[in-house]
Amino acid sequence: MRQRRLIAGATAFGLITGAGVLTLPAAQADEPSVLLNEDFEDGSFSPLTQNGGSALSVVDADGDKALLVQGRTNDYDGIKTPANLLQAGGTYTFSAQVKLSAAAGTTTSARFVVEPAYSWVGNTTVSADAWTTVRGTFNAPAGANPATLRAYLGTGDLGAPYDYLIDDVVITGTAVPGDGGAWQPTPDPAFVPGGAANPTATPLAAARGTGNAVALTFDDGPNPGETAAVLDLLRDKGITATFCIIGQNVQAAGGADLLRRIVAEGHTLCNHGTSFADMGSWTRSQVETDLKENLRIIRAAAGDPTLEVPYFRAPNGNWGATGEVAAALGMQPLGLGNVIFDWDGNDLSEATLTANLRRAFTPGAVVLAHDGGGDRSNTVRAVATVVNEKLAEGWTFTLPSGGAAAAPVAVTSGFETGTDGWTARGDGVQVATSGTARTGSGSLLVTNRTQPWHGAALDVTAGLPVGVAVEVSVWARLAPGQAPASLKISVQRDNGGGSAYDGVAGAGASVTADGWTQLKGTYTLGAAADKAQVYVEGPVGVDFLLDDFSLAPFAEKPIQTDVPGLKDVLGADGIEHVGVAIDARETVGTAADLVRKHFNAFTPENAGKPESVQPVEGQFAFTQLDQLLDFADANDVQVYGHVLAWHSQTPAWFFKDGARDLTDSPADQALLKARMEAHIKGIADHIDARYPDGNSPIWAWDVVNEVIADGDTANPHDMRDSRWFQVLGEGFVDEAFRLADRYFPEAALFINDYNTEMPEKRADYLDLISSLKARGVPIDGVGHQAHVDVARPVQWLEDSIKAVEALDPKLLQAITELDVNASTENQGADVSGGPVDPYSPAFEDDADAAAEVGYYYRDLFAMLREHNASVDSVTFWGISNARTWLRTWPMARPWEQPLPFDDELQVTPAYWGIVDPSRLPARPADVLPPRIADQSDIAVVSNGASGAKVSYVSPSAIDTLDGVVPITCLPAPGGRFPVGTTTVTCTATDEAGNTRTSSFDVVVTRKQAGRP
């Protein structure tokens, strides 16, 4: 191999001998080592991998071998580094030689781009006339996942597609620092952070708001002339933008005046460094010094030592360690977004820049133009043209996501002079002022409620800025004569014709008529809503009073960065997908940080359910789901879709023909099948349009959910007598899977149910799955929800997993909705028919309950690790204990701690039970009685009046500490049971003396009544 001649300005870079060298970094490395060296001389591009859909071939070029990349439709089409080459905290230098395979004189830009943050490294102009070295240095963030930390070669805009040649790809690097810990700034009590709310090291490049909204950003100013012209335009049009400030330009003539004007006219500031220097190869200490100095320059010029500069953008888009340092200094890294290529080396004509800017205007985009760093007069003219066009089309201009927090508007209600804007929620509901007050002289009385969601609501859109945590509080009391009932605070978000419903975390309690009870919790609006309402709801028929409502900002505790990520621990143990159920609240702020650190997958908690996606026939509402898919796509997280066909949270119109209920007539069956197909196809068409290259983040779907009843039914496999079943019979499951397979051919297709660990339901579930396979239904996986409790034996779930493995070892298995309650009851997860028996805590002390949940997780995950060949995915049903549905369903249960993270997103004993059981607290005394498997009633026919001998199998009894325990059932099996109903009572006692009883009936009937 010979080194290609470099064009002027490029730097030669020494290479080691040989092709395709790939060396993983050592745990400690003082000097850079060559990790990858590929010259394509052997005709292969391994260990590099293909990225995107281009065609790759090794060809002769200029007397040497090179890789030709052809047929590109995206700027990322080409090659990518293998997984696990780059390590968290390491420093890496990338180098490659590039030449366009195009007409002479053709130029573009090329760069290395590192996923998942899409950090630009070494952006360089390349041409068809000579070989150019693309070279830059990247500092991997601490805590990054090596499996997703991968670099590809990207290029400029593909307005005119072109092929290119690549050769001599070399990557050198040093390993993670010895302590492996997160970087911290130099202690400085006098330093005032930039002012971003919950900044993340990952650059963000999405605009706030929905619909046709963009965030205009300008780099490399301030610059007399261009910056002034931009400010004139923005002032005249009533638009605010974000200006990324270069310190040396502030210190130049006229710069300070322009900066003060930017601030005075309401624009937002972004730190762009003290100079135009590329920081991609700088150490963290060097970056810290420069960013702090630029903050000082900006604040001194503005005359405000605490002025907020809430964003940072890396010069040249070369991030290196800058994102991590900026976030630690209180500035949100701002991604490049949609660029218009208005820098040297490109066509800078007004016509070209105007066309580029028009293309850059896409809904929700951050748009980057320049007001400094050279002659930007054509940029200014292009901006004026396109901004006028977009204003005429109804576009809005906003801030980028993250960064500066919009100030919440304080909201309070005392009901002293009226209803304070609160309105009735639901037909027939009455709201009126009352003289029964907690403080002052008035309260709000809510009566005539005929649905659980009926209540009183308040529009709080102005008080809920995106990404800002708020504390919501109201005092409640039941009307005289009402029995105690559970009330809770919820939020309705409306977007684009669809609505979503969120519980306020922690804001549920049991309320009485004897005194006032506070409902208090926290809430974060995850994405802009057309309208947001807070409301109070509770059981049907309960009248209640409200007083002293408040909504105010709340300071969140940052996540722990010094603990292992669940996805890393479990991924190393063979569980590929480690997920969590979320909604838009978890895509911003501290909760989003937790998702990124611990999970590589998530399930949309409600946004994918039929009532959310298609509330009215033919009217699809995807805003809520798109918000989650955008977050997944931006953070390299996969999505487990939930759910295509379900008896619950499905609009009634699915099963109606006008006002008439559908029957099982052929015509009605055809109508319901057509609706099922239209629903599934509508979702698929939308996903395909958003991801035309087939790179949707959705890896799996719950196709059908909860189709098996908890007890005996007259239907095959004890199937639930849902409206789906009543119209289509068992075949509705087959139809749903065949349609899902047609429209989501790349996704894994799961059946899903709760209580699958219960022996009787397990048998029905396996029987249905066996029948589906026998009919050739395209089922890929079996979901076990695993809404379990601390007394439910892990062995029962393992028995179910083993049963599926025995049925078909190729079936994937997933734990889809995991939580572990600490109540004396666990009657399942059927939200359409809530349990009526009250729940109570299994432990008197909350710390004991948390410890026992931790030990349960220890045993559960020890079992799951043994079945990692079939258990592909584990999803926790909620980001934190504050967000668990168990806190409010089917009643207020404030003692529940079912998840690995507590109310403040800190690790719990449940976390340590999974990650490191040696760190669990001492196990509490055993107060849990054994669990006895459900036993259905037994029906026997007698030939005579004396009854019949009945031999039955006693149900199994298992204790979570002692394992299988003896069980005694009376009357005993094998005895004679009289005609009629006899109740059999079974008793099991563990070694600690805890006893549980269970019963079932033996029903004996005469074969021929009236005969002796």
Are 626 and 690 within 8 A, CB to CB? yes
Are 641 and 620 within 8 A, CB to CB? no
Are 150 and 114 within 8 A, CB to CB? yes
Please, which residues bridge with residue 873 across strands? 577, 814
From the list 800, 784, 889, 873, the residue with the least C-alpha distance to 836 is 889
CA 61, distance to chain mean position in Å, is: 46
* Catalytic status, residue 817: yes
CA distance 227 to 220: 10
Local structure of 385: helix, strand or coil: helix
From the list 100, 113, 97, 99, the residue with the least C-alpha distance to 168 is 97
From the list 323, 342, 341, 325, the residue with the least C-alpha distance to 333 is 323
CA distance 616 to 621: 9
Are 125 and 268 within 8 A, CB to CB? no
Q: For residues 606-632, b (16+ Cβ closer than 10 Å) or e, as one string?
A: bbbbbbbbbeeeeebbbbbbbbbbbbb
Q: For residues 916-953, b (16+ Cβ closer than 10 Å) or e, as one string?
A: ebeebeeebebebbbbbbebeebebebeeeebbebebe
Integer angstrom CA distances of residue 285 from 181, 290, 565: 15, 9, 26
Cis status of the peptide bond prior to 222, with omega within 30 of 0: yes
SS3 per residue for 237-269: HCCCCEEEECHHHHHCCCHHHHHHHHHHCCCEE
Please, which residues bridge with residue 939 across strands? 1003
User: What sign does the CA torsion over 183, 186, 188, 191 have?
Assistant: negative
Are 385 and 356 within 8 A, CB to CB? no
Tell me how far apart the terminal alpha carbons of the chain are, to the nearest angstrom.
103
Q: Is 9 left (phi over 0), alpha (psi -120 to 50) or beta?
A: left
Q: How many residues does the chain have?
A: 1012
Helix residue ranges per DSSP H, 817-901? 846-866
Residue 115 is classified by DSSP as: T
Please, which residues bridge with residue 529 across strands? none
CA distance 907 to 904: 9
Element (H, E) at 567: helix 566-572
Residue 993 is classified by DSSP as: -
The amino acid at 817? E
Q: Number of helices and strands (H, E) in the chain?
A: 18, 51
Alpha-carbon Rg of the chain, whole angstroms? 32
Helix residue ranges per DSSP H, 894-997? 909-915
The residue from 115, 706, 757, 852 that is catalytic is 706
User: What sign does the CA torsion over 260, 263, 265, 267 have?
Assistant: positive
Q: Are strands 577-582 and 544-553 parallel, antiparallel or unpaired?
A: unpaired
Residue 841 is classified by DSSP as: B
Show Cβ contacts of residue 350 under 8 Å, excluding neighbours closer than 6 positions: 378, 381, 382
The residue from 288, 611, 757, 817 that is catalytic is 817
Residue 185 is classified by DSSP as: P
Element (H, E) at 998: strand 995-1006
User: What sign does the CA torsion over 195, 201, 204, 209 have?
Assistant: negative
Active site positions, annotated? 706, 817
